[in-house]
Amino acid sequence: MKYSNEPFDCDVGYCKPPLHSRFQKGKSPNPRGRPKGSANYLTLLQRVLGQKVAVTEDGKRRKITKIEAAMTQLLNKAALGDTRAFQATLKVVTLLGLKPEQETGGLTFIIEG
- Residue range 29-69, pLDDT digits in tens: 888 888 887 788 998 999 999 999 999 989 999 999 999 99
The pTM for the full model equals 0.55
Element (H, E) at 35: none
Cα–Cα distance for residue pair 113/40, rounded to 1 Å? 26
Cα–Cα distance for residue pair 103/101, rounded to 1 Å? 6
Burial pattern 28-50, b for ≥16 Cβ within 10 A else e, equals: eeeeeeeeeeeeeeeeeeeeeee
